[in-house]
Structure 1
């Protein structure tokens, strides 16, 4: 069954919500449980999302026992662990690749079909494989699947050509049992990496994270039971900040780490927005109209690519022309045509979008092509005149827990509805149901 979100726009959002645990922190932490040779990892504040449930099923397919209720997850790993991943689950989600490093370290071998995920451009795992090879792994690609073996990984120096989050996480986990010391350089510096490091250290790993893109790991013989907490989701927090601004409302978001959202706050303040930032919450104050700003997406602590579609929707209503340069994923502009259907004026020039602000957006039938594009269309619908239907809303459920309920809690006029058929016609094309 496929679903759509029906939105009646023009209602200012008001009230208070709490940010969920970070999806992009929960997934690698769940994968890290595979490093236990026999034990349990308890994780707090795990968001209930499609990707989280897919990762849980993937771990179960490898032999784990998982209890999960109301944000509390307990993962028990048996001594006898499977090393061959279920292809039907791996192909659903890009983050499935995160089990490769732990399996190789724990079992000495792993089979991983090339993973799936959002269609936002090429995101190869070559940096993962190159790093594992440096540590002594033998890597072969057989019939679309990675076959990796290692007779004990060896510590070494690995310089990442690009500060890839996934490669940093995979190599970090693989190095936990490697002989000697592994030094990872030019690593990703996202807060989710620090959350993973903290989790691994609580399990008994020996890791020094210098905060400068260098991580040192000294191999240990085994890890032990532990518990950890998932950090707040900075992308979800920022999405609701933008929703408040677009709707002309005033909301407070609790369970926030303010320094994690600095890049958005600074950019919005440049555009004239104002906030009250507390120790663990942020209040978004009303603004009549944002001024145009320009930005380029970059690895953390730069402006996140995962917010580019949402801020583009916001700037579609700004006063003046904004320039947005996508510096991470080359195909992350699939939402542009849908926003333009709603009255936005956005022109693409290669990896750059020129957004000329309009007075208002209009409701339309639009389709979510990926997770963050779907969120951007929902924001546009909240601000638009009349009614908007966002089809293929399943993409959004991959990253936002109870988004419809949170928006309703803030006064948003939204409703989740089944589409008329699996092959719903949107924008003149038949769109297939999400897999």
Structure 2
């Protein structure tokens, strides 16, 4: 099993995609990467075994497996999509330098390691290059809870004689900071209150697992999460929710290609904002006994879209929607409010024939935190425009599926490199797409 940044260092293969075929049939959505990787970290909070089901076989999970093993945990695959983590002892309080920049999971290990061994040395996090993603919120929260934080050039060293509860006000409802505080607070002495917390479905799913382990956590209606610290947590079994980003990706693909796809495991409660956007553009959906079916209901027309924190439109849905809007009649506007530099991928779409212009203004809804800061965080998309196949290089995970979707829509054949990014978060994308009629092949690198 691959571990460390070696899993991300090079493509395993290229994709060759010939466009023009509608996707039809069914596809089973995998477990939620953004929940499961955090739940694997949460297993460090107990000495007892934790079993997680619905785990996708993706690069990101492989990376976390390697991290846990280096810390001394035993990690076993007990089924094709089931994993068992047992951290009976912690052999190391720090992660190896090879994990520097691998992803943002190491920073979430600070709380569990502080509770287990009193200190942690964590390499600086990485992940997709989509804008600044500082960890100030994380470190400030741990300081408020009694941790000493020593910032180093390539790592963060934290230590404590015991974390205590605190009232923590987040300036922005950061998903990562909320998760970090929850993981640190469940075994802290006293009560922790997170004000302006993120409440994404993946966070709620992790809270449900922690509750099974014996944690006392309440999610209030005003974005407050209240955690009453307990003395110990026990092992548990948990089946993770399905991945709403993958479900949305295949939904957009069905509409963009003029096909019809049943997404098995898709949940309407997780996709309400996406469904509304697809409906405005021209897509339709229907509930099925196994999930949701998506299809093109009418000619595609322009729509205005604004990403936001949950329950707003998920930022990870933005890229496939932008591609879909290149095939819609009229001028559409997409306003990105979560990351300030998430439209870099559109340059390659323009080279395929898309008409996309970036703008520094807040063009949909109220001004966001990037207003007057010279960030090109809005896009004007004019369509419909025919796309032509070309060589593409994936710059980050979510742009990756937009490129795959562009190639499926385009005339001719596209060759896609940087597939390692896509395979961080999508299980067997080639197999799933070809099963629905997509003309997708892999080719050796070089």
In the superposition, the TM-score normalised over structure 1's length comes to 0.94
Q: CA deviation at 1:211?
A: 4.6
Deviations 1:35-70 (A, max 9, x none): 01x211000001111111001100000000001241
Structure 1 contact 58–90 (Cα < 8 Å) conserved: no
Are 2:143 and 1:130 aligned? Answer: no
Are 2:57 and 1:53 aligned? Answer: no
Are 2:207 and 1:197 aligned? Answer: yes
The farther-off stretch of 329-338 and 285-294 is: 285-294
Match of 2:53 in 1: 44
Q: CA deviation at 1:89?
A: 2.1
Q: CA deviation at 1:290?
A: 1.3
Match of 1:256 in 2: 266
Match of 2:25 in 1: 15
Which of 400, 404, 407 does residue 430 from structure 2 map onto? 404
Cα distance in 2 between the residues matched to 1:58 and 1:167: 20
- Structure 1 runs (4+) deviating above 4 angstroms are none
Are 2:250 and 1:240 aligned? Answer: yes
Q: CA deviation at 1:105?
A: 2.5
Q: CA deviation at 1:411?
A: 0.7
Q: CA deviation at 1:144?
A: 2.1
SS at match of 2:296: coil
Match of 1:62 in 2: 71
Match of 2:167 in 1: 157
Cα distance in 1 between the residues matched to 2:117 and 2:299: 56
In the superposition, the TM-score normalised over structure 2's length comes to 0.92
The farther-off stretch of 211-220 and 11-20 is: 211-220
Structure 2 contact 395–421 (Cα < 8 Å) conserved: yes
Q: Which runs of 5+ in 2 are unaligned?
A: 1-9, 361-376
Cα distance in 1 between the residues matched to 2:56 and 2:114: 27
Q: CA deviation at 1:208?
A: 1.2
SS at match of 1:93: coil
Match of 2:99 in 1: 89
Cα distance in 1 between the residues matched to 2:234 and 2:62: 24
Q: CA deviation at 1:90?
A: 4.1
Match of 2:393 in 1: 367
Match of 1:170 in 2: 180
Cα distance in 2 between the residues matched to 1:289 and 1:342: 22
Q: Which runs of 5+ in 1 are unaligned?
A: 421-435
Match of 2:381 in 1: 355
Are 2:343 and 1:317 aligned? Answer: no
Structure 1 contact 102–170 (Cα < 8 Å) conserved: no
SS at match of 2:225: strand
Q: CA deviation at 1:17?
A: 1.1
Match of 2:5 in 1: none
CA RMSD, 1 decimal: 1.3
Which of 172, 177, 197 does residue 187 from structure 1 map onto? 197
Match of 1:433 in 2: none
Q: CA deviation at 1:288?
A: 5.0
Cα distance in 2 between the residues matched to 1:403 and 1:96: 26
Structure 1 contact 98–169 (Cα < 8 Å) conserved: yes
Which of 77, 80, 102 does residue 112 from structure 2 map onto? 102
Structure 1 contact 35–106 (Cα < 8 Å) conserved: yes
Q: How many residues align?
A: 419
Deviations 1:102-139 (A, max 9, x none): 21222221111111111111101110101111101110
